[in-house]
Amino acid sequence: MKVFKFGGASVKDAAAVRNVAKILERYQEDQIIVVVSAMGKTTNALEELLDAYFHGKDNTLALLEVVKRFHFDILKELFEDTRHPIFEAIHNTFVEIEWQLEEDQMREYDFEYDQMVAVGEWISATVVSAYLKHVGLANKLQDVRDLIRTDNTYRNAKVDWEVSAENVNRYLKPYFQNEENRLMVVQGFVGSTSENFNSTLGREGSDYTGGILANLTDADSLTIWKDVPGMLNADPKWFDETVKLNNISYHEAVELAYYGATVIHPKTIKPLQNKHIPLLVKSFLNPEEEGSVINDNSAKDSLIPSYIFKTNQILISISPRDYSFIAEENLSQIFGCFAKHRVTVNLMQNSAISFSICADNQKQKIDQLIEELKADYKVYYNDDLLLLTVRHYDEETLSKLLKGKTVYVEQKSRQTARFVVK
């Protein structure tokens, strides 16, 4: 049993979907769970649609039409006969979104987010499954919401591992007990609550879906198919020259993912490490190449500097109004505020009378957070910042990297240097 995860870029258009089929044809002897993300930038488009709906804007139907046209254009390229059942299936899915748009908002934003945005993955899985059958690759389309049970922490749901394991044993494993059944297609990013509402696993959570299913099926491996040749020491969008990390340990991968490396979702590693399941990162553009391997082997951890950039950062500085010390009770209150508004801390630093936190600038959450903090503290912030992290740094490298930049916060440990800059 193998698990393959294909991200949005690998199913972004008709040519990309055809390429997925060609990759799967290379693994005729394997049983594979295929996890797919929403196509291209569909999640971004659905987020824009949700924002318009939630704030009562009058362009919701126009935004929905853009998403519909994008998917039907792909369908027309993949299927010659527009009477193919896939057209009606996708049409009906969009009708369900239209019904949602016609209703008044009944719940908070995060709940509405998961109900609407999760649809993108289901459409993608449905299209990919239908196309694979169209070209002779028999498969089962399995709704992952019947497999992965979560709590109701919408947009960052926590997995109920016990119930999810029961679901996998009930709905997934029997299919593969027949050795002739090779492929199952599921959507990533999504789970369901005990009330059967959609939940999502965090942005880019399809990687995590792959990790969950690999763990629950005791898979031989999880392969994440990317548009890069493997784990690189830097994002090619930022650096002209990058180095592929051929083999790194779970520990090193967790460190890189935690600091913001976009190749792997941070939650993906743990369910794999718990059962010693290797993670492969391979290129869907050059599938014959070996890519990178993440496993128990720490002997091959590279000391090559790795660079991680997180954009759109905000630095929030908090201090008592009476210039008293930042004590434990202050920190407890501050962290409680961050938890309440679901703002993830990327970096923190304190002095005697101030406490500074760097976080993703998610405007709606940040505005509410700052407003609440201002009730008890003086609050200052700088936005439009960049968080730089360098693993296995040296001073010469840091000097070049920081040239011409204003440094707001600097932190160094034995292996890692981090800077908030502009």
CA dist 239 to 233, 292, 312, Å? Answer: 10, 19, 18
Q: Are 215 and 132 in contact (CB under 8 A)?
A: no
Residues ≥6 apart with Cβ < 8 Å to 340: 372
CA dist 9 to 3, 165, 229, 413, Å? Answer: 18, 30, 14, 35
CA distance 301 to 248: 5
Q: Are 355 and 315 in contact (CB under 8 A)?
A: no
CB atoms < 10 A from the CB of 326, how many?
18
Find, among 137, 139, 135, 158, the residue nearest to 148 by Cα.
158
State whether residue 155 is helix, strand or coil: coil
Using CA atoms of 328, 331, 333, 335 in order, give the dihedral in degrees to the nearest 10: -140
Using CA atoms of 222, 267, 40, 216 in order, give the dihedral in degrees to the nearest 10: 40
Say whether pLDDT at 262 is over 90.
Answer: no
Say whether pLDDT at 323 is over 80.
Answer: no
Residues ≥6 apart with Cβ < 8 Å to 180: none
With bands split at pLDDT 50, 70 and 90, how would you rate the model's confidence at 342? confident
Beta bridge partners of 294: 248, 279
At 266 the pLDDT is: 76
Say whether pLDDT at 322 is over 90.
Answer: no
- Calculate mean pLDDT across residues 322-348: 87
Say whether pLDDT at 301 is over 70.
Answer: no
pLDDT in tens, 189-222: 999 999 999 999 987 789 999 999 999 999 999 9
Say whether pLDDT at 91 is over 80.
Answer: yes
CA distance 308 to 260: 6
Say whether pLDDT at 302 is over 70.
Answer: no
Domain boundaries, the chain: 2-219, 306-421
Say whether pLDDT at 129 is over 80.
Answer: yes
CA distance 93 to 300: 47
Say whether pLDDT at 264 is over 70.
Answer: yes
With bands split at pLDDT 50, 70 and 90, how would you rate the model's confidence at 45? very high
With bands split at pLDDT 50, 70 and 90, how would you rate the model's confidence at 326? confident
What amino acid is encoded at 82 in this protein?
T
CATH top-level class for 306-421?
alpha beta
* CA–CA–CA angle 237, 264, 242 (5° rounding): 35
Residues ≥6 apart with Cβ < 8 Å to 398: 390, 417
Percent of the chain with pLDDT over 90: 76
Say whether pLDDT at 233 is over 70.
Answer: yes
- Calculate mean pLDDT across residues 389-401: 91
With bands split at pLDDT 50, 70 and 90, how would you rate the model's confidence at 300? low
At 412 the pLDDT is: 95
Say whether pLDDT at 422 is over 90.
Answer: yes
- Calculate mean pLDDT across residues 352-373: 92
With bands split at pLDDT 50, 70 and 90, how would you rate the model's confidence at 187? very high
Query: Residue 377, exposed/middle/buried by CB under 10 A (0-12, 13-18, 19+)?
Result: buried
pLDDT in tens, 265-284: 778 999 999 999 999 999 99
Residues ≥6 apart with Cβ < 8 Å to 28: 182
With bands split at pLDDT 50, 70 and 90, how would you rate the model's confidence at 139? very high
Higher pLDDT pick, 320 / 277: 277
CA distance 77 to 80: 7
Say whether pLDDT at 299 is over 70.
Answer: no
With bands split at pLDDT 50, 70 and 90, how would you rate the model's confidence at 39? very high
pLDDT in tens, 119-128: 999 999 999 9
Quickly name the fold that domain 2-219 has: Carbamate kinase (3.40.1160)
